[in-house]
Amino acid sequence: MAGVVYLIGAGPGDYKLITVKGKECIEKADVIIYDYLADTHLLRWARPDAELIYAGKQCKNHTLHQYEINEILVDRGLKGKSVARLKGGDPLVFGRGGEEAMALAEAGVPFEFVPGVTSGISAPAYAGIPVTQRAMATSFAIVTGHEDPTKSVSGIHWEGLATAVDTLCFVMGVGNLPLISSKLIEHGRPANTPVAVIRWGTKPIQETLVSTLENVAYDVAKAGLKPPAVVVVGDVVNLRDKLRWFDTKPLFGKRIVVTRARSQASALVSRLEELGADVVEAAAIRTEALPIDVATAELVAKAGSYKVITFTSAQGVHYFFQALEAQQLDSRSLGQAKICAIGSATAKALKAKGLLADIVPTNYQAESVVEALSPVMTAGDKMLLIQPKVARHVIEKGLTAQGITVDVARLYETVQDTSRRELLRDHLTAGDVDYITFTSSSTVTNTLSLLGENAKELMANVRVVCIGPITAATCVENGLMPDVIGETFTIPAMVDMIVADATAGV
């Protein structure tokens, strides 16, 4: 039986502008065929077993020709696959979605259009330019700036378009700016009409150039502005100075590498993106459950017999409850044991399991944990410590010295994640990274290992941010000098440090 092909508008660049239905189609797809302008962040929602096909088309550089894309869509559809066809912007606004739908209809393959946010409206919006404005612009048009090259006569009605519409948005028009501007002026548009050219609209690398109709072609050539870009013509461009909001964010234009494990990175990534940063997720580590031997299983099962259970990370919470559930147990088995959580993220993870931490040390270093626990425990008491395979022994030694019995359940390990190595190397080699963030010693050592012998050379012009002094010390031990070191060891504090550093002197 035939499958179904979803012709999805992937939005203009900011991956968060995908529609709810578009995301749902990606999540269930057997096959995903994506374009150059469809942000690859969207592929994070793909099933692990989904077939991914890149069909990017740039000027004079087509990975696949349109007829080949049509053939793939028909082939996978006839094989009964659920296909997500990701197209930049909206599939029916100069996206050739109609052509692909015709091919599918002729082959008898079911399809659906999933509209998307078009760049003709959203790119101006992210530049602070509304395409309509009461008493200024009551009409707008989206026009192709790159017509079918096989046409002998232009299909654009310049004589009407030039003066009949208040705001004109040309997509794919940078290469034809001399023709566009001259035609509009020739047919009555004033030469001093404001024009904005917005490159990579809605993305953190967005560039906006403001000019006039008579000068825009020269100004764009002088600035070296390249596609993809949207050209906006009209008086609404003058509103940009008052309505700019996106490119005034404190981290706008800054490219920041996050090396934290992907399972932990969401809070850091989200906050950096909210502040305008272009975030490169290059996880150097990931966590894996360790095999649970009989002795460790017994420690978990009798957790309720301890005076205190101490969790050193949110991952520890996850793997502890995983081990607990494997024995058909839940939080009721913890009895009257007091709960110590190192860090707000750990406390939050416990809260999600229905447990409120009794002790949350204000300082997240192991030395401070010993100090915080000392008033709660006395000689002869017992504590269960949940840790990874490799960890510092400060807590264990500090409490043992006070006569407290400490049993350690090592439930998981941190291993190297190599999946983003090439991405990280490419960015560092290109010299387009402003900051690299380290949230633990393991992120430091594994990142350096991933990059190899010339790691420090690749990061020579990158500002190194460490969540705290222990992570910073690991950097120094490995010959990498940190530039920003946290005093409060939390993700929000780390973000605040980056903002302060990035805006110093501004």
The DSSP result for 48-94, as a single string, is TT-EEEE--EETTEESS-HHHHHHHHHHHHHTT-EEEEEESB-TTSS
Q: Crossing angle for the helix pair 97-107 and 66-78, nearest 10 degrees? A: 40
168-216 per-position pLDDT tens digit: 999 988 989 999 999 999 999 999 999 999 999 999 999 999 999 999 9
pLDDT of 371: 84
Residue 105 lies in a domain: yes
The predicted pLDDT at position 153 comes to 67
Same domain, 376 and 461: no
Q: What is the Cα–Cα distance from 83 to 92, expressed in whole angstroms? A: 17
Q: Per the omega criterion (within 30 degrees of 0), is the bond before 291 cis? A: no
Count of domains observed in the chain: 4
> Strand ranges (DSSP E) for 229-367?
229-233, 255-258, 278-281, 285-289, 308-311, 338-341
> In this predicted structure, what is the pLDDT of residue 249?
97
Helix (H) or strand (E) holding 20: helix 20-28
Query: Do both 98 and 25 map to the same domain?
Result: yes
Taking the CA atoms of 115, 120, 126 and 131 in sequence, report the sign of the dihedral they define: negative
pLDDT for the residue numbered 59:
56
Q: Given 386, 414, 442, which residue is the final one in a domain?
A: 414
- C-alpha of 204 from chain center: 11
Query: ∠ CA(295), CA(359), CA(388), 5° rounding?
Result: 35
Examine residue 390 and state whether it is found in any structural domain, yes or no. yes
Query: Do 301 and 396 fall into the same domain?
Result: yes
pLDDT for residue 125: 98
Does the residue 271 lie in any domain?
A: yes
User: CA distances (Å), 93 to each of 8, 120, 143, in order?
Assistant: 12, 9, 9
My answer on whether 278 and 295 are in the same domain is no
Which of 57, 183, 353, 382 is labelled catalytic?
A: 57
Q: Is residue 164 part of a domain?
A: yes
Q: How many residues does the chain have?
A: 506
- Residue whose token pair is 């101006």: 124
Is residue 454 in a domain? Answer: yes
| Residue 141 placed within a domain | yes
pLDDT at 57: 63
Whether 61 and 210 map to the same domain: the answer is: no
Domain that holds residue 433: 255-284+417-503
Cβ-based burial of 481 (10 A; exposed 0-12, middle 13-18, buried ≥19): exposed
DSSP code at position 373: H
Whether 264 and 220 map to the same domain: the answer is no
Cα–Cα distance between 187 and 464 in angstroms, integer? 55
Q: Which residues contact 109 (CB under 8 A, 6 or more apart)?
A: 2, 3, 4, 5, 73, 74, 77, 78
Report the pLDDT value the prediction gives residue 368, as an integer from 0 to 100: 77
Query: Does residue 386 lie in a domain region?
Result: yes
Q: What is the pTM of this model?
A: 0.83
SS3 291: coil
Q: Which of 35, 39, 278, 434 is catalytic?
A: 35
Residues of the chain with pLDDT under 70: 1, 57-62, 147-153, 363-367, 505-506
At residue 152, the pLDDT reads: 56
Same-domain status, 107 and 131: no
Q: Could you tell me which of 92, 99, 94 has the C-alpha nearest to residue 114?
A: 92
Read off the CATH number of the domain in which 62 is found.
Answer: 3.40.1010.10
Domain final residue pick, 116, 147, 163: 116
* Domain co-membership, 375 together with 405: yes
- From the list 355, 387, 392, 359, the residue with the least C-alpha distance to 373 is 359
Q: Compute how many other C-beta atoms are within 10 angstroms of the C-beta atom of residue 477.
A: 11
**Annotated catalytic residue within 14, 39, 81, 172:** 172
305 and 408 within one domain: yes
Classify burial at 505, counting beta carbons within 10 Å of its beta carbon; exposed 0-12, middle 13-18, buried 19 or more. exposed
Q: Which pLDDT score, from 0 to 100, does residue 151 have?
A: 59
* Residue-averaged pLDDT of the chain: 92
Beta-carbon contacts of 99 under 8 Å, excluding residues fewer than 6 positions away, are 66, 70
What pLDDT, on a 0 to 100 scale, did the predictor assign at position 370?
A: 84
423 & 280 share domain: yes
Q: Cα-flanking dihedrals φ and ψ of residue 21, to 5°?
A: -65, -40
Q: Tell me whether residue 35 is one of the annotated catalytic residues.
A: yes
- End of a domain among 82, 116, 150? 116
Spatial distance between the Cα atoms of 471 and 141, rounded to a whole number of angstroms: 54
274 occurs within a structural domain: yes
User: Of the candidates 285, 355, 282, which has an alpha carbon nearest to the alpha carbon of residue 318?
Assistant: 355
Q: Would you state the pLDDT for residue 386?
A: 96
> What's the pLDDT score for residue 292?
94
Is 102 catalytic? The answer is no
Pair (232, 304) in one structural domain: no
Reported as a single tens digit per residue, the pLDDT across 293-334 is 999 999 999 999 999 999 999 999 999 999 999 999 999 999
373 and 272 inside one domain: no
**CATH of residue 318:** 3.40.50.10090
Contact 307, 336 (CB under 8 A): no
What pLDDT does residue 8 have? 97
